[in-house]
């Protein structure tokens, strides 16, 4: 009997699985299929492993609900939105907030290009400002946002960059001139500050999304393969005013 997982070579089944199934404790969701692969070699079967996959995904969705993430479906293995969501010039809002069951189904669904589904977060609608740092910004010792890597919720990207999350606790349309200057300085320390866009429609790819070479080739996209993962999911999301306070202290 042969069992196939998409994206990997075929692994043989070694008969009946053990009565006690080893639970993947401490295994990040983005690594769960690597864990599955090792368990196939030990003779475990897919139905029981799938139960634990659902447990991991439900835990991730609980995390999204806790922090108010507005989730957007992406094409598995890519950063491409699977649906339209931006407001058009005539004011029609195309975004429809998904149910919990829909988000779970998106993540569970595999394709021949990716072992797991892909999702993004609409930053402004979620009440976030997300500093999107590429690898060159992360490497700079004097980068402003390095201070917050271990103080607020931060995700690591496949390219070695960071997504640094803040709560948008300010009315960005009513800022003092000095505060606007500080925001522009912060923008110089990252590739983009998601959530400042018109209508708050800036999208950020979030864990447990995995980018694959197969998907990049098929959809003709330039992307570095790898996984998005939280550096420490237990960290709080600091208010953006904290970042402005630090910027003010540095400017003095």
**141-173: per-residue pLDDT in tens?**
888 999 999 999 999 999 999 999 999 888 777
Binned at pLDDT 50, 70 and 90, residue 10 comes out as very low
Is the pLDDT at 223 greater than 80? The verdict is yes
Rounded mean pLDDT of 187-194?
88
CB 229 within 8 A of CB 207: yes
What pLDDT does 25 receive? 54
- Supply 184's token pair: 């522009």
How many C-alpha atoms does 247 have within 13 Å on its Cβ side? 20
Q: Where are the domains of the chain?
A: 2-251
Rounded mean pLDDT of 18-40?
52
> What percent of the chain is predicted at pLDDT more than 90?
33
**Torsion angle, alpha carbons of 134, 138, 141, 142, to 10:** 50
What pLDDT does 18 receive? 37
Q: Which of 26-40, 91-105, 109-123 has the lowest mean pLDDT?
A: 26-40
Is the pLDDT at 16 greater than 60? The verdict is no
What pLDDT does 250 receive? 72
Binned at pLDDT 50, 70 and 90, residue 206 comes out as very high
The C-alpha atoms of residue 70 and residue 85 are separated, in whole angstroms, by 11
What pLDDT does 3 receive? 35
34-66 tens-digit pLDDT: 555 555 555 555 566 666 677 788 889 999 999
pTM (whole model) above 0.85: no
What pLDDT does 179 receive? 78
- Of the two residues 66 and 94, the one the predictor is more confident about is 66
Q: Which of 20-34, 66-80, 225-239 has the lowest mean pLDDT?
A: 20-34
Is the pLDDT at 98 greater than 60? The verdict is yes
Is the pLDDT at 15 greater than 80? The verdict is no
């Amino acid at each position: 009997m042969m069992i196939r997982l998409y994206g990997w070579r075929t692994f043989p089944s070694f008969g009946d699985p053990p009565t006690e199934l080893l639970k993947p404790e401490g295994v990040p969701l983005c690594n769960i299929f690597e864990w599955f692969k090792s368990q196939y070699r030990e003779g475990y079967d897919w139905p029981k492993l799938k139960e634990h996959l659902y447990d991991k995904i439900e835990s991730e969705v609980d995390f999204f609900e806790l922090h108010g993430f507005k989730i957007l479906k992406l094409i598995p293995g890519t950063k491409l939105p699977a649906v339209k969501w931006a407001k058009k010039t005539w004011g029609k809002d195309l975004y429809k907030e998904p149910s919990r069951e829909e988000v779970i189904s998106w993540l569970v669904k595999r394709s021949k290009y990716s072992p797991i589904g892909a999702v993004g977060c609409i930053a402004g609608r979620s009440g976030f400002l997300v500093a999107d740092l590429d690898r060159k910004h992360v490497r700079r010792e004097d980068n402003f946002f390095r201070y917050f890597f271990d103080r607020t919720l931060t995700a690591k990207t496949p390219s070695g960059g960071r997504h640094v999350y803040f709560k948008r606790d300010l009315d960005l349309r009513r800022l003092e001139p000095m505060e606007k200057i500080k925001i522009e300085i912060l923008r110089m320390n990252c590739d983009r500050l998601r959530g400042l866009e018109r209508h708050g429609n800036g999208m950020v790819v979030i864990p447990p999304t995995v980018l694959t070479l197969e998907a990049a080739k098929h959809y003709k996209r330039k992307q570095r393969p790898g996984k998005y993962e939280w550096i420490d999911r237990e960290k709080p999301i600091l208010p953006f005013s904290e970042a402005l306070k630090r910027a003010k202290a540095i400017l003095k």
